[in-house]
Amino acid sequence: MTFEEAEVRAKQLKEAIEKHNYSYYILALPTISDFEYDLLLKELIDLEALYPQLQTSDSPTQRVGSDIDNEFTQVRHKYPMMSLSNTYSESDLTEFDLRIHKLISDIPIEYVCELKFDGTAIGLTYKNGVLVQAVTRGDGEKGDDVTVNVRTIKSIPLKLHSSDYPSEFEVRGEIFMPHASFQRLNKERIEAGDTPFANPRNAAAGTLKLLNSSEVAKRGLDCFIYHMLGDNLPFQSHYENLQKAKEWGLKVSDHARKCSTLEEVFGFIHYWDEERKNLPYDTDGVVLKVNSYTLQKQLGFTAKSPRWATAYKFKPEQAVTQLISVDFQVGRTGAITPVANLEPVALAGTTVKRASLHNADQIELLDIRLNDWVVVEKGGEIIPKIVGIDKSRREEGSEPFHYITNCPVCGTLLVKDEGEAKHYCPNDTGCTPQIIGRIEHFISRRAMNIDGLGAETADTLYNKGLIKDIADLYELKKERLEVLDRMGSKSAENIVAGIEQSKNVPFQRVLFAIGIRFVGETTAKKLAEALKSLDAIRHATREELLEVDEIGDKIADSIIAFFLKPKNIELLDRLKKAGLQFSLNEDEFKPLSDKLAGLGIVISGNFVKHSREELKQLIEKHGGKNLSAVSSTTSYLLAGDKMGTSKLQKAEKLGVKIISEDDFLNLMA
């Protein structure tokens, strides 16, 4: 086939595939079989492989994803991505309506009621009808560019239909995971020995942040559009623009309704509070918006949310059943979690047999006793929670529940630190669930991401005596793995290769992987960027740790306690000897200048020219250090609008120089 012939055929295939995508994912009216669809897609993939210049960003082949890992970059939103205020009762909505009419008098208000989808927010930018960028909410000012992943979602058009759309505009929507996709994904994770996702919302958010877009493509995400932004929009009203977006091929819910009165709004809420149980995806409320853009502009915004919209949240579903017994689980950090075993009861479309009891304080607060009739609530989690007791049905002579005093696995006396809700088993080196939990955490995707090694295999390795801790992983040989049941030569080879490859995982993820209590992903990254190496973190004073952004007393004390244990030091020495990354790649964080060298700066307030995160990056790039609290070692307090009063007072008391955003920028000029 010549290039000219291939070009014509590729165009035909693209148009046909997108037409079938629209029929299947938007109209829910498939026109061909899955087999026929796959044949068309395969033909296009083959053509683009033969002539790479035929592959464009809006090609349906981009929905397959890539095996190339892509780190996400931060992008500033053109329009701030604000959150909505929440209401929980009809009286709250009545007050919302009264506020609207007080600000806008003598004009009829038309509301649009929409279902509030339980997923993760996304901003999609189209230029000349082609999807060019997809950005997560982030902090509202900036988010992650996840365009590569979003292109794999088949309900999001890569190229719009028709031609009457603006040359550039943005739509906001909710990416979610339908129940069928969620159940399939969790079934696969359980079979692979991985921890199942807690709910579809978490699964959708986690999937969107995967670095491998080919994995995203397999998970069956979906998306509803609920907002449009830009110049030269077709209409000056929200509902009409949504209907136009539907004509362009964007997926808009058919359940949105225009309402002229509060009675109509309440009717919409009452209907969907029951009917939502029959939807193939999760909703957690109703969003109420003023329809007119002119009135929206007149009403304006608060610091956090629009005045012309609010979200009414449905009450979580509840059921009453009997408490049979209580089990106690031990986590990787030694935290003890009580779990109630219940008489099976139907709740929110599933049969509930277990529920979380959280901790001893919660049990005492509710006065939970064995054989009590308890109120169980399911707020989207896999394990529901007990929120109340029907004491009128309590058995005579029942006794208060006695919380365990010793670890249910190793028998060690439990401890409870001041200010902590949970009890802990302090035997972190001899308690089996803690050891296995730390190994599973270490090998997990967000930590060392060791290819070929799942939680189930790690458990087997421990139980068979092949490993006793995370450092033992780096001494495993293919020959020792091959003797395990269901472990072939190729699988053993892949595990050894995955372990070897993990030696290249960057320091911040290694720091997260070693499992210091309270040091999560974000904290590990902050520590790594601030102190640069594990040795520096190990020898840092408590005051030096507290100066690191987002490090408080609890985290600082936990870090110090971790490095005081000789067994932990021995373990880290073995990991370092194995070749893991114990310091930052300096090239990645090479400073732009040393103009702020030796200066410690605290940021407080809101700024005009830069976001707080950008200012923090500038401080680091020019050799300075970001401090979270004002102390005698602080060089400057960088003060913006609405800064914290306590920081200002402390700076004045200690004689710390207070500078403006312009003063700060002049320091680097």
Whether 526 is catalytic: no
| 521 alpha carbon, distance to own chain's centre | 12
Dihedral over alpha carbons 280, 284, 285, 287 (to 10 degrees): -80
CA 276 – CA 281 distance, rounded (Å): 8
Both tokens of residue 327? 């089990």
Neighbours of 571 (CB within 10 A): 18
Residue 104 near residue 294 (C-beta atoms within 8 A): no
Residue 389 near residue 368 (C-beta atoms within 8 A): yes
CA 446 – CA 521 distance, rounded (Å): 8
Both tokens of residue 541? 């004073």
Both tokens of residue 506? 């960057």
Neighbours of 402 (CB within 10 A): 8
Nearest to 313 by CA among 563, 87, 651, 650: 87
Residue owning tokens 């979380």: 356
Alpha helices in 133-275 (DSSP H): 147-150, 179-191, 200-208, 213-217, 238-247, 262-275
Q: Which of 516-525's residues contact partners 24+ apart within 8 Å by CB, and which partners?
A: 516/558, 516/559, 516/562, 517/333, 517/558, 517/561, 517/562, 518/554, 518/555, 518/558, 519/555, 519/558, 519/559, 521/446, 522/550, 523/550, 523/551, 523/555
Identified catalytic residue from 14, 102, 116, 244: 116
Residue 384 near residue 390 (C-beta atoms within 8 A): no
CA 608 – CA 661 distance, rounded (Å): 8
Q: At what angle do helices 432-443 and 455-463 cross, to 10 degrees?
A: 140
Taking the chain, what is the end-to-end CA distance rounded to the nearest angstrom?
60
Active site residues: 116
